[in-house]
Structure 1
Amino acid sequence: MTGTVRGDSFTDDYWRDPHAALAWAREHSPVREVDFEGGRTWLVTRYADVRAGLVDPRLAKDWRSTLPEAERAAAPPALPAPMSHMLTSLDPPEHTRLRALVTQAFTARRVAELRPRVEAVAHELLDALPEDEPVDLVARYAIVLPMVVICELLGVPELERDEFARLSTVLIDECPEPELRRASAQMADYLEGLVAAKRAAPDDALLSALITASDEGDRLSDVEIVAMAMLLLMAGHETTAVFITNSVRALLADPAARERLASPPEVPSLVEELLRWLSPALNASLRFATEDLEIGGVPIPRGASVMLSTGGANRDPAQFADPARFDPDRSTAGHLAFGHGIHRCLGAALVRLEGEVALAALFARFPHLRAAADPAELTFRRSVHVHAPRTFPVVLGPRANG
């Protein structure tokens, strides 16, 4: 079967069609061991198991929680600093403290106020695109829009944005360990200097807000600020770029759904179904069993790593009727595109906003947009966390206002 997760590993077919792979796993062996990054992990694909796992305190983000208490302090973290200080790598009480501080700076009001700027960036990018020759929608639009927005939000200078995009791709895609550590160190070095500059000359960007955020005198340390900035830079544009790219591909195949973009009240529900159907983050980052437990009736030993598949969960027929069908009229309540529980995506509102703006602006400006390459010719990224073509050539066609 094309796109299956075989007994021992993610196969090459997974990179091209992960939803078929996850569907096969969900039906035949919903909790199964697979090879992952030189080791073994338990892949969980059913909605009920994934949702429960996302809030199960016995599944920790820090592998050291699986060790006897006397051994934890001397054990190294799984990731190099500052990645080991990211919210996605921490458990309570450290996670609770950092999330409370960061949430003060990353408010719903701040995100809502970004809409005019997101719209302006989208139109600036579309103005610069050619009408009648192939253009890579990934490099010229899907990546650039969220990268500009998150860098402006954080206060990262424009000249550094292309390099941040390159480094974040390395950190998310499958790559050798030395390359991962090198990219992490390069990004951290730059951000450390930027944090020092913001301390000396604060502005109204998010990085300065993180520096000043406090709770009864408690503040983020420099390494925590750098880690949070790294996370926001990576997650703040990678998943959105993937979402925009795959949403365009989906809407090109569904003219009726595409027409809904012209009706602003219908856009949020369309985007919500795209989030469920596409699952921009297909699998959550690893968790570790702090004790012997069961998931879906399968014994999981203490110390084992567990990968909860939000992409598998979002297409589970036990939760969503006819889940492989894209249906903007369905109820998407409870979808797990942004996770669930204390680790639910901090930037969910920003992803929704950017998706709504990017798709509506693109198809309003270029209603005759079409793919310029056969789908079979697309090359996909090798990442268990995101699924998207490396490039997506399109011909935009005449502008609606031209």
Structure 2
Amino acid sequence: MTEVIDLGEYGAQFRRDPYPVYARLRERGPVHRVRMPAPDGHHLVWLVVGHAEARAALADPRLSKDAGKFGRTFLDEQLIGTYLLVADPPQHTRLRGLVSRAFTARRVAGLRPRIQEITDDLLDAMLPRGRADLVESFAYPLPITVICELLGVPEMDRTAFRRMSTEAVAPTSAESEYEAYVRLAAYLTELIEDKRCAGPGDPPGDLIRTTGEDGDRLSPGELRGMAFVLLIAGHETTVNLITNTVHALLTHPEQLAALRADTSLTDAAVEETLRYEGPVENATFRYAAEPLEIGGTAIGQGEPVLIGLAAADRDPGHFPAPDRFDIRRDPRGHVAFGHGIHYCLGATLARVEAGTAIRSLLERAPGLTLDGPPGEWLPGALMRGVVSRGAMTGYRRPRPRPAPCGRRNRRRSAASR
């Protein structure tokens, strides 16, 4: 009889710091049968905590993302529709091919000036106050503004959208999770209809009109699912990445000092945060399409598998002294953005946003310090980050930022005109 480990028994401490538990599990083996806390009770799953096993499992075609093949249905698919994270090839290949052109390195590079402009505006508003909630004032509005401008979400809708999306990815109860998905589905359907008449050059309209070489296009349900995953994944993960990077730096003063002495290490600091305290704790569910073995453990057909991204990236077998935050470390091989065909579509955009945010914040807030402990960590097994309340960051009043000569009037999004 395989031992079942109830992770819920570790209580709030597990949410705050799951790494000691993952380390003890890893010492006993790379794969374990666990009971995960969930809003509707619990989920009995196979949890992969070893790095080599996690990386292999992420790219294993025998692990399916399509729960419907095994008689399982979830709220997201029921109310939103099929999207990249719950599809297998060839459907996944088709969907990703139709949307991936919006997130090429060239397209993301073209967004850098606007990302910097949004960052500067947020810091202009935040820094003179001398004290602010980092999540509420900076880490959240930066990525949500970028992705909402890309998809044409009106500015007046963004606060409501944030509440819906946060409850969907880190639900506090089964009832509130259901309500969030119902509202998200209705909102996205209306948004898509509003954008069908958008002219050329309008990003949401371009996505709706995207056509493959064979004339293939996204159906209405697929458009809703694509908008869902782009909006949710396009900002929730980046909020956590920015917040986790700032928190890691402020709680490791020697690393912060090293970064201030050499700002060329900013991207390295972001990459180390992805390994050390990545924004996604566990990948979304996979299911064994056939009997298989992971790390010497037999997995039965149809059984759910949860790949522990956070656990894998603290594996000492791959990363020496993994619990040490070191911005000069070589973190290559981390799985914070996944691996294989489901590698995060927006990884390049997230890195650019986080790098811009950290570089600008440290430059303009030379006395940046923690103003107390962070807020509560997000509930659930998916996201790794703090909720906004209580995540306070204080700093000394910054030096004035000189205005660039001949600076043009700032471009405003169509939604804010």
State TM-score, norm by structure 1: 0.91
Q: Which amino acid aligns with 1:8?
A: D
Q: Which amino acid aligns with 2:96?
A: R
Q: CA deviation at 1:330?
A: 1.9
| 1:129 corresponds to | 126
| 1:340 corresponds to | 339
| 2:16 corresponds to | 16
Tell me which moved more, 8-17 or 46-55: 8-17
| 1:383 corresponds to | 380
Equivalent residue for 1:44, pick from 15, 31, 48: 48
* 2:25 is the counterpart of 1:25: yes
Q: Which amino acid aligns with 1:235?
A: A
Equivalent residue for 2:241, pick from 240, 243, 247: 243
Q: CA deviation at 1:276?
A: 1.2
Q: In the aligned structure 2, how far is the partner of 1:188 from the partner of 1:66?
A: 24
| 1:174 corresponds to | 171
Q: Which amino acid aligns with 1:244?
A: I
| 1:291 corresponds to | 290
Q: In the aligned structure 1, how far is the partner of 2:168 from the partner of 2:28?
A: 32
Q: Which amino acid aligns with 2:385?
A: A
Q: In the aligned structure 2, how far is the partner of 1:283 from the partner of 1:35?
A: 14
Q: CA deviation at 1:7?
A: 1.7
After superposition, residues 322-333 of structure 1 pair within 5 angstroms as 322-333=321-332
Q: In the aligned structure 1, how far is the partner of 2:113 from the partner of 2:151?
A: 17
Residue correspondences, number: 389
Q: In the aligned structure 1, how far is the partner of 2:351 from the partner of 2:17?
A: 24
- Give SS of 2:77's match: coil
Q: Which amino acid aligns with 1:279?
A: G
Q: In the aligned structure 2, how far is the partner of 1:195 from the partner of 1:253?
A: 43
| 1:267 corresponds to | 266
Q: CA deviation at 1:145?
A: 0.7
- Give SS of 2:60's match: coil
Q: In the aligned structure 1, how far is the partner of 2:327 from the partner of 2:239?
A: 21
Q: In the aligned structure 1, how far is the partner of 2:397 from the partner of 2:333?
A: 40
- 1:54-95 CA-to-partner distances (Å, cap 9, x unmatched) read 01111101123346xxxxxxx756643454412001111110
Tell me which moved more, 33-42 or 116-125: 33-42
Q: In the aligned structure 2, how far is the partner of 1:350 from the partner of 1:117?
A: 12
- Give SS of 1:113's match: helix
* 2:156 is the counterpart of 1:159: yes
- Whether the aligned pair in 2 keeps the contact of 1:317 and 1:323 (CA below 8 Å) is yes
- Whether the aligned pair in 1 keeps the contact of 2:240 and 2:279 (CA below 8 Å) is yes
| 1:113 corresponds to | 110
Q: In the aligned structure 1, how far is the partner of 2:6 from the partner of 2:216?
A: 46
- Give SS of 1:335's match: coil
Equivalent residue for 2:216, pick from 208, 215, 218: 218
| 1:281 corresponds to | 280
- Whether the aligned pair in 2 keeps the contact of 1:246 and 1:388 (CA below 8 Å) is yes
State TM-score, norm by structure 2: 0.88
- Whether the aligned pair in 2 keeps the contact of 1:54 and 1:339 (CA below 8 Å) is yes
- 1:272-317 CA-to-partner distances (Å, cap 9, x unmatched) read 1121111211110000111221111111111111100111111111
Q: In the aligned structure 1, how far is the partner of 2:77 from the partner of 2:332?
A: 37
Q: In the aligned structure 2, how far is the partner of 1:236 from the partner of 1:121?
A: 16
Tell me which moved more, 205-214 or 115-124: 205-214
Q: Which amino acid aligns with 1:31?
A: V
Q: In the aligned structure 2, how far is the partner of 1:126 from the partner of 1:203?
A: 33
Q: Let me know the Cα RMSD of the aligned residues.
A: 2.1
Equivalent residue for 1:89, pick from 86, 90, 111: 86
| 1:190 corresponds to | 187
Q: In the aligned structure 1, how far is the partner of 2:174 from the partner of 2:270?
A: 36
Q: Unmatched 5+ residue regions in structure 1? A: 1-5, 68-74
| 2:413 corresponds to | none
Q: In the aligned structure 1, how far is the partner of 2:155 from the partner of 2:56?
A: 41
| 1:70 corresponds to | none
- Whether the aligned pair in 1 keeps the contact of 2:127 and 2:397 (CA below 8 Å) is no
Spell out structure 1 runs of 4+ moving beyond 4 A.
75-78, 130-133, 261-264
Q: CA deviation at 1:132?
A: 5.7
Q: In the aligned structure 1, how far is the partner of 2:292 from the partner of 2:104?
A: 37
Q: CA deviation at 1:205?
A: 3.8
Q: Which amino acid aligns with 2:22?
A: L
Tell me which moved more, 57-66 or 297-306: 57-66
Tell me which moved more, 116-125 or 132-141: 132-141
